[in-house]
Structure 1
Amino acid sequence: MIQFNFADLIAILPELVLLGATCVILLVDLFIKPSQRDITHWMSIAALAVTAVFIWRGAPEAGQATTAFNGMFLHDGISVVLKQFIVLMSGLSLVYGRNYMRERKLLIGEFYLLVLFATFGMMLLVSAGSLITAYLGLELLALSSYALVALNRDSAVSAEAAIKYFVLGALASGLLLYGMSMIYGATGTLDLASISASIGQVEHPGWLAFGLVFLVCGIAFKLGAAPFHMWLPDVYQGAPTAVTVFIGSAPKLAAFGLAYRLLEGGLGGLSEHWTLMLAILSVFSLAIGNLLAIAQSNIKRMLAYSTISHVGFLLLGFVGATPEGFSAAMFYAISYALTAAVAFGMIALLARAGFECEEIDDFKGLNQRSPWYAGIMAIAMFSLAGVPPLFGFFAKLLVLKAAIDAGFLWLAIVAIVFAIIGIYYYLRVVKVMYFDTAADTGKLALPEDVPMRWVISLNGLALIVLGLTWGPLFDWCNRAFGV
């Protein structure tokens, strides 16, 4: 019989605060008029801000970790760091999407509620101490994401993307669940710590290895690693840009948490097997992501293939199965999420009713219209490309160092080669903004959403500041892993 006490509720207090606030927002939204939707917007921002405060206030001391609900929920430094940035990225997504959704008459309560429920699922996921908790958090995130992609019911492209996302997502969830069932059958427990402790005493290790393969396939899908990437470009392109901002940033942090909890937390004793699998996935992701991104004319699809290549870099931190590598991988996930938010946010900023600003050519002449926002977009592109001294450069450097220290020099060389290839398609966006002339300068009119313009400017400048002062953030990541 599962028992819990008051300490369990304290450990899960940020999640309870967010869930309670989401339920209140749901009720309030039922009684307001569409013209009063700003109430829902600011209540959602406030709910995320209060949740962030509770996460910060409840952070454990360095090197300490607590469990709740008989080990099903973990509260440690890793979960605190990931939750803080998940909440931050969710808040940025709401700010960046407000004007975009309003102009398309999609600024409805469901948009905010689905983002909040997805955030709750991600917070639950990164604190998973059991296969059950991991799966519940993952499905709450997945179901909310499917609905968000299909939010524009009048768009055939969005409907097609949502159906593809749902079908392939269900397949990936099935693979993951089947792998979990094999691991449960081999070990007789759902608790990740107990699974880790019993690996050496398993009577039928073949079933454990069989389950590991399915588990890695499911994780690769959720990360968007090749060759399990088929859904990602279509979903990024088909979803409303405001939704793409969200699913292109925060869930990547949750996917990192899922991979770490299941692979290292539960199956660390099989690291010699799953590190090789992840190294192969990394090579596929780097090659397919960078090469196919070159051929794209739609900037959302280009950034989608770019995401696949970045997942390849993220996996470099896993191949050594060391705390230093995991710390570098988490640092990379944070860097990518913050940078991707700027890139997708700029698309949402420049889009207006009747003009989606989804083609790379739509950015022609942006420097003539607004040198400031052309500069912000250029910062995002250079950071994604890994140009020093921006945030993305040091993130790449750290995961490369982790791979080399783990003895995967060949993999680091492959990553560097494809990173150099990838610079091309990022520079193409910069070239279009600064050296091409727009055929219709009216298309580049900036919205009057002052909060969004300020926030995206600060987000872009943060890539420079964190590039110059990345040490404290990396130290925070190191402390989370006990490095």
Structure 2
Amino acid sequence: MNNLNLAPLYPEVFLVIAASAILLIDMFLSDAKRNLTYMMSLAALVIAGILTWTDFSSGATVYTFRNMFVSDPMSNLLKLFCYLAVGLTFVYSRQYGSLRNMTNNGIGGEFYVMSLFALVGQMVMVSANNFLAIYLGLELMSLSTYALVALRRDHTASTEAAMKYFILGAMASGFLLYGISMLYGATGSLDLSEVARVTASGTANHTVLVFGIVFVVAGIAFKLGAAPFHMWVPDVYQGSPTSVTLILGGAPKLAVFGMAMRLLVEGMWSLAIDWQQMLTVLAVVSMAVGNITAIAQTNLKRMLAYSTISQMGFMLLGMLSGVYAGGDASAAANAYSSSMFYSITYVITTLGSFGLIMLLSRAGFEAENIDDFKGLNQRSPWFAAMMLIMMLSLAGVPPMVGFYSKLAVLQSVLATGKLWLSIVAVMFSLVGAYYYLRVIKVMYFDEAVDKTKIHASADMRVALSLNGVAVLVLGLLPGPLMAACVTAIVRTLAS
């Protein structure tokens, strides 16, 4: 292992340089020329994607910086979808911001720059092989998103959401840091490989390790938005500008999944009997709270926030199923890959859902209530079909990709013999189908109240259309993406 090899860090280094350059250039641009910032940000994502794809296609695992940073198939695949999530968010947000003249309200080039810095933090999170590196990436992402939520300074709801997010986020970071300090005290190392070796040897104080794991899992649960650490999700999703809501609900979910894999699976596999019980409780409570509470919501962004809570509970089922698989490496890999597949497809579907909310919004009007979608089929059959695909996928209805991702997770749960957990998951999925179908009913069977013509830029029309088609195609042909997830997990765990 070459600790002076900077090649694995090229995507991160490039994005830091690109974001800094974009920030400087944007200072000298007028609002009329803000499209240049948009184009430069997309170009930076494309170049970073090419660099990461080169690493991913090689299939190699490379450590650097004294094993603090690792480039492996899992991290590279997650990074590629993080680029996709942020890129689509930029495309969906351009028209949304321009219609509100948001540059005059504090959202201009800094929206793109801070989103890119948040992305760098996410990339560090999924590639970190050391407690300090994980925390560094987490804080870079968190501080950037705190600022993004607070960008709309003259909006009371955004200011309130930013305050709640910052205070609760600081608490969660404290939990995670305190848990890391206890794990360091028990094992004497910040390196995940060394932590795994010490915990497997049984020489560390088990009580201290368990206390450390409790705080670490609490920090992870907060960043995922899993119940009972979900308090910030509905308020922040609703109070933030929809473009910022999508920044929070997209790529960070992939980054936290990667962080959880590093900390729990790679670093503390020998303590799985302890943390899998916590994940079981988090998964069940998240599905219960998310699905039941979402029924009562009339605000679509708030409903999708509770939907996120329930979806994260489903994703955790895959992670804890890998633990139940015990010594069966194949079953464990299938469980983790199903969880990874679920995370990726959930993010893709969420991008389309919030993209359509931004499409229907216009100057002085936020299309964030369910009633705002009344009669959408009369106004635009195509975009109504796109929203239909998103809602059916989130509900887990075939042939959408949401059905296959839920099926893959349930199969991994059944493979462990935990039939009761599968039944609970299916029952709560049936409950959740109600509020998704309610949106479909409103679009197709209610009379349109707002008959304003829908205006969409060419890039947004193309992106939304491809987003919807991708959700359908991945449901019909999930094999390639699932195979990529399985290969990434197997090679990563083998290294």
> Taking structure 1 as the reference length, what is the TM-score of the superposition?
0.97
Give CA deviations for 1:100-157 in whole Å, capped at 9, x if unaligned: 1112222401100011000110011000100001000001111111111111111000
Question: Is it true that 1:334 corresponds to 2:344 in the alignment?
Answer: yes
Counterpart secondary structure, 2:399: coil
Which residue of structure 2 lines up, in the alignment, with residue 462 of structure 1?
470
Distance 2:454 2:268 in 1: 50
With over 3 angstroms needed to count, the CA separation of the structure-2 counterparts of 1:31 and 1:15, relative to structure 1, is same
Which residue of structure 2 lines up, in the alignment, with residue 179 of structure 1?
179
Question: Is it true that 1:354 corresponds to 2:364 in the alignment?
Answer: yes
Counterpart secondary structure, 1:58: helix
Distance 1:138 1:185 in 2: 21
Which residue of structure 2 lines up, in the alignment, with residue 113 of structure 1?
113
Counterpart secondary structure, 2:70: strand
Counterpart secondary structure, 1:85: helix
With over 3 angstroms needed to count, the CA separation of the structure-2 counterparts of 1:448 and 1:417, relative to structure 1, is closer
Give CA deviations for 1:21-67 in whole Å, capped at 9, x if unaligned: 111111111111111000000000000010000000122644x4111
Counterpart secondary structure, 2:34: helix
Distance 1:11 1:341 in 2: 28
Question: Is it true that 1:237 corresponds to 2:238 in the alignment?
Answer: yes
Once the two structures are overlaid, the 10-residue window that deviates more, 308-317 or 321-330, is 321-330
- What is the deviation of 1:342? 0.4
Give CA deviations for 1:251-302 in whole Å, capped at 9, x if unaligned: 1101101111110111111001111110110000000000000000000000
Distance 2:359 2:181 in 1: 45
Distance 2:419 2:142 in 1: 35
1:364 is aligned, of 374, 380, 395, to: 374
Once the two structures are overlaid, the 10-residue window that deviates more, 169-178 or 244-253, is 244-253
Question: Is it true that 1:137 corresponds to 2:137 in the alignment?
Answer: yes
Unpaired runs of at least 5, structure 2: 324-331
Which residue of structure 2 lines up, in the alignment, with residue 26 of structure 1?
23
* Residues 225, 311 of structure 1: 8 Å contact kept: yes
- What is the deviation of 1:202? 3.0
Question: Is it true that 1:401 corresponds to 2:397 in the alignment?
Answer: no
The aligned runs of 1:186-225 (5 Å cut-off) are: 186-199=186-199, 200-225=201-226
- What is the deviation of 1:354? 1.1
* Residues 287, 309 of structure 1: 8 Å contact kept: yes
- What is the deviation of 1:447? 2.2
Give the letter aligned to residue 430 of structure 1: I
* Residues 129, 262 of structure 2: 8 Å contact kept: yes
Q: What is the RMSD of the two structures over their aligned residues, measured on CA atoms?
A: 1.1
Which residue of structure 2 lines up, in the alignment, with residue 373 of structure 1?
383
* Residues 198, 204 of structure 2: 8 Å contact kept: no
* Residues 164, 231 of structure 1: 8 Å contact kept: yes
Distance 2:308 2:474 in 1: 20
Question: Is it true that 1:427 corresponds to 2:437 in the alignment?
Answer: yes
With over 3 angstroms needed to count, the CA separation of the structure-2 counterparts of 1:33 and 1:273, relative to structure 1, is same
Counterpart secondary structure, 2:469: helix
1:15 is aligned, of 12, 17, 28, to: 12
Give the letter aligned to residue 131 of structure 2: L
Question: Is it true that 1:36 corresponds to 2:33 in the alignment?
Answer: yes
Unpaired runs of at least 5, structure 1: none
With over 3 angstroms needed to count, the CA separation of the structure-2 counterparts of 1:60 and 1:376, relative to structure 1, is closer
Distance 2:297 2:277 in 1: 31
Counterpart secondary structure, 2:227: coil
The aligned runs of 1:441-460 (5 Å cut-off) are: 441-442=451-452, 445-460=453-468
Distance 2:79 2:303 in 1: 28
The aligned runs of 1:313-332 (5 Å cut-off) are: 313-320=314-321, 321=323, 322-332=332-342
Counterpart secondary structure, 2:63: strand
Counterpart secondary structure, 2:262: helix
Distance 2:483 2:419 in 1: 25
* Residues 3, 63 of structure 2: 8 Å contact kept: no
With over 3 angstroms needed to count, the CA separation of the structure-2 counterparts of 1:194 and 1:60, relative to structure 1, is farther
How many residues align? The count is 476
Once the two structures are overlaid, the 10-residue window that deviates more, 23-32 or 156-165, is 23-32
Distance 2:308 2:319 in 1: 17
Counterpart secondary structure, 2:388: helix
* Residues 106, 151 of structure 1: 8 Å contact kept: no
- What is the deviation of 1:407? 2.7
Distance 1:309 1:217 in 2: 17
Question: Is it true that 1:391 corresponds to 2:392 in the alignment?
Answer: no
Give the letter aligned to residue 35 of structure 2: D
Question: Is it true that 1:90 corresponds to 2:86 in the alignment?
Answer: yes
Distance 1:217 1:463 in 2: 32
- What is the deviation of 1:308? 0.4
Distance 2:236 2:101 in 1: 21
Distance 1:473 1:428 in 2: 30
Question: Is it true that 1:473 corresponds to 2:481 in the alignment?
Answer: yes
* Residues 345, 456 of structure 1: 8 Å contact kept: yes
Counterpart secondary structure, 1:482: helix
Distance 1:15 1:158 in 2: 30
Counterpart secondary structure, 1:59: helix
- What is the deviation of 1:440? 2.8
Question: Is it true that 1:46 corresponds to 2:82 in the alignment?
Answer: no
The aligned runs of 1:288-299 (5 Å cut-off) are: 288-299=289-300
The aligned runs of 1:268-279 (5 Å cut-off) are: 268-279=269-280
Counterpart secondary structure, 2:427: helix
